[in-house]
Amino acid sequence: MRTAKLLIILALLMVTALSQGYAMSIEAEVDRSEVAFGETLSLVVTLTQELGSGRTQTFGLPRISSIPGFDIVSTRSGQSTSFINGVGSSRTQVVYELVPQEPGKFTIPAFSFSDGSGNTHSTKPIEITVLPPPAQKEEPEDERPASEPSRRAEEGSSLFKAMLVLGLLLAAIIAPVMILSSVSGRRSPAAAGRRETAIEDAEVVEAVAPSAVPPRQAIDFAAEVARLKRQHPEADKAFYQQYFELFGRAALAGSNNLSESMTSDEMLKKAAEMCSSDIARQACRRLAGDIELTLYANRAPARAFSAIDADARDIINAIMQ
């Protein structure tokens, strides 16, 4: 009789251990339920599994290949296991960075998962609202205020004119001296050497007449970005490649310390040295990572476009000061 009771107790303990070994739950959540078009959204899928005493078997999450209404631009995962008094738990988490394909209301569907016992675990559907991009209002060309590069170009043109006038004045002063020296040389053969020297000096002065480097053409960065967004409403890889090329041209137009022969990394490194604020220098480092991901890894940036555009404008404003 006692043996029968012991067998029953052992059987109950084994059933309890097995049920604990496969006790699990799955859930999905997003960092926000409302996102602007062009920004990224994080979807986090978490699988939590309780492990019975002495059991270490765990199950991995199946990967999600597509979600209606969104593009999956990056994926990262992690796993952790802990044991307390022989009883542990395992947690597996996968983070998906999503980019909306168009404005509107979308539903991230429920995802199902089957464990080794044949039980099915599912997440709950998630409603997402994608806001349309803000309307871009372009000002007429004649009403737009003069930008800082335009003012610099006008100042450079005025300086060139002033130096040209100064050169003409110097030529007008030197010319009579040359004529007098030539006349004196005709009267006195001994002065021939001096005449030649005077002529050589005059030629050197004319050769070093100051000249100005033509200013670079200014770029209205905000207007060009708005035009580019109209051409690429989906903000795909082609959009980001053209956007970063536009940023490079705007940076070159804003500072003579940058050269067209520089790579994007060299240009941002030089821009960071030119910036006086820590905010602009940190923006240079962040934007360098986005450009490397787009131009070299051939992938769209993981950050939201609004954050990338804000960094790019901070850098351009900083190097133009």
For the stretch 141-152, pLDDT in tens is 555 555 555 666
Task: Name the 3-class secondary structure at 304.
Answer: coil
Q: Does the pLDDT value for residue 1 go beyond 60?
A: no
Last residue of a domain, one of 207, 242, 274: 207
On whether both 104 and 200 belong to a single domain, the answer is no
Answer whether 0.85 is exceeded by the pTM: no
CB 182 within 8 A of CB 195: yes
Q: What are phi and psi of 123, to 5 degrees?
A: -90, 175
Report the C-alpha gap between 195 and 77 in whole angstroms: 86
Of the residues 131, 162, 182, which one is the last residue of a structural domain?
131
Over range 59-75, report the average pLDDT.
Answer: 87
Residue 143 lies in a domain: no
pLDDT in tens, 152-199: 667 767 787 888 878 888 888 887 777 776 656 555 444 444 444 443
Q: Pairing state of beta strands 34-36 and 126-131?
A: parallel
Q: State which of 102, 131, 160 marks the end of a domain.
A: 131
Pairing of strands 24-30, 41-51: antiparallel
In a domain, 202, yes or no: yes
Looking up tokens 């059933």 gives 15
What's the average model confidence in pLDDT over 26-48?
A: 91
Helices and strands: H and E segment counts in the chain = 8, 9
Element (H, E) at 9: helix 2-21
**Quick one: 100 and 161 in the same domain?**
no
Cβ atoms 195, 185 nearer than 8 A: yes
pLDDT at 107 > cutoff 50: yes
Least confident range of 62-66, 166-170, 180-184, 234-238: 180-184
- Residue 104 domain boundaries: 24-131
Tally of domains within the chain: 3
Distance CA 187, CA 196 (A): 15
Q: Is residue 5 part of a domain?
A: no
Exposure of 319 by Cβ count < 10 A (0-12 exposed, 13-18 middle, 19+ buried)?
A: buried
The reply to whether 139 falls in a domain is no
Same domain, 240 and 195: no
Dihedral, CA atoms, 195, 201, 207, 209, nearest 10 degrees? -120
DSSP SS3 for 219? coil
* Distance between CA atoms of residues 61 and 77, nearest Å: 10
The helix/strand/coil state of 212 is: coil
- Indicate if 175 and 262 belong to the same structural domain: no
Percent of the chain with pLDDT over 70: 73
